[in-house]
Structures are given as C-alpha cells and as structure tokens.
Amino acid sequence: GAGVSQTPSNKVTEKGKYVELRCDPISGHTALYWYRQSLGQGPEFLIYFQGTGAADDSGLPNDRFFAVRPEGSVSTLKIQRTERGDSAVYLCASSQGSSSYNEQFFGPGTRLTVL
Amino acid sequence: ELKVEQNPLFLSMQEGKNYTIYCNYSTTSDRLYWYRQDPGKSLESLFVLLSNGAVKQEGRLMASLDTKARLSTLHITAAVHDLSATYFCAGAGADGLTFGKGTHLIIQP
C-alpha cells in the first residue's frame, strides 16, 4: 500500500516569501505529525494532529509557522516570511492512533532551502 | 521534558567487527524506537522496544532496552558495508517523538 507522501520534494525560495508544504498520510491514519530536521541533527517535533485538530503545536518555533488538516487527512505546513534559518528537511509522519504505542511512519520529506 | 542522548555521534569501523551504539534518555518513555536514515532519505523504522528487558534482533542488528537505567543499545554484529547509515533512537513522549542527534556509522571494507 502507499506510504506517507510529501510534496514538493524540494523547495527553494527567497527570504521573506511564503511557502506551503503538503503531506498525504497513510490512508486511515488518524494521527499526523510534522518534524523538522536540520543538517546533521535528529528530527525535532513541530506539531501533531489527531483528526482535524492540532492536539499539540508546542514545537512550532514561532508564529510564522502554521499547519492545518481541514478534513482529517492531508495536512499543509505553512511558513510565512521565510528566513534562512528555516532551511531544513521537513518530515511528516502518520500513525493509526495518537497513543505513543502507535508506530509512526515517515514520509520522504521536503527539503526547504531559503536563499 | 524528555531528552535523548546518543553516543557515539560518529563511528567508523571495519567490516566484520562488532560495536554498540548507546542511547540514554532522561525521563520515563512509553516506548523506545530505533530508526535508520540513509543520506537524502527518510527514516526507516528498525525496532520498537516496549518494556524493560525487551530485546529484538533483525539480521546483524540487535536492540535492547533497560528502563531502569533509561538506556537502550543497538548492537551490530559482524558489520557489513550495507549497514553504513545514520541511526537514530527516539523516545515516545506525550505526543511526538524526541530523537537523539544520531550516530553516523561508516563501515569500511
């Protein structure tokens, strides 16, 4: 079956621009997670959805970052007024439920480069 | 707040040798995960460790968990070049996973 997919795979933008990153979770998975991985580091948690609602957005670095999941499936991570420090790989993961007992499956990531 | 530390962060070894990667975590974690990441690729799940004393093995990799010591290990037996990758451990907190910085493993022929 299809895994988690993310588009685009690569995004290059200029400082100050707005970007949207998309995640398609595994069908039927109710929980969806966004992580950010900087070069040479482990992924860092950004936000987690259970269904349509953001259950925990404590990892979002500031108010330039926002994510939605309006129909409980596809999610979009939105970054306003991008900065060079936002350059990273943004990973999406989904799981069958929200419990930590449910294994998270990761997508291939979107590599964002802010010039 | 859960914190996860791995060591070593970088490891170069020869084929055929054995080695262990260590993962310490700071507070109680429901589960402990090990992932593999190849350059430019996403994370591949290797092991999920559920409880104290859990041991899982897949091929040349074996993972264990000691919840009292808050320590997990990933042991590599008779390493082969194909195992070269970055290995992450991650603890399961209230919501998202907390990852270590990763161990960059290079296995030389």
Across chain B, what does the average pLDDT equal? 92
Instruction: Enumerate the residues of chain A whose CB falls inside 8 A of the CB of residue B96.
Output: 33, 35, 45-46, 48, 56, 59
B24-70 pLDDT, tens digit each: 998 877 689 999 999 888 899 999 998 788 899 999 999 999 988 99
Residues 6 or more apart in contact with residue B58 via CB below 8 angstroms = B46, B47
Q: What sign results for the dihedral spanned by CA atoms A78, A40, B79, B92? A: negative
DSSP state of A16: T
- Contact of B37 with A35, CB cutoff 8 Å: no
Chain A residue set in contact with B, beta carbons under 8 Å: 33, 35, 40-46, 48, 55-56, 58-59, 91, 98, 100-101, 103-109
The band of B93, judged by pLDDT with boundaries at 50, 70 and 90, is confident
A21-45 pLDDT, tens digit each: 999 999 999 999 999 999 989 999 9
How far is residue B35's CA from residue B37's CA, in Å, rounded to a whole number?
7
Residue A24: per-residue pLDDT: 97
Name the 3-class secondary structure at A43.
Answer: coil
For residue B88, give how far its alpha carbon lies from the nearest alpha carbon of chain A (Å). Answer: 7
- The domains of chain B, with CATH numbers, are 4-108 (2.60.40.10)
Tokens of B95: 């919501």
- The domains of chain A, with CATH numbers, are 5-97 (2.60.40.10)
Top residue of A104, A105, A111 to mutate, by most chain B CBs within 10 Å, is A104
Residue B29: per-residue pLDDT: 72
A53-76 pLDDT, tens digit each: 888 898 999 999 999 999 999 999
A70-106 pLDDT, tens digit each: 999 999 999 999 999 999 999 999 998 766 567 889 9
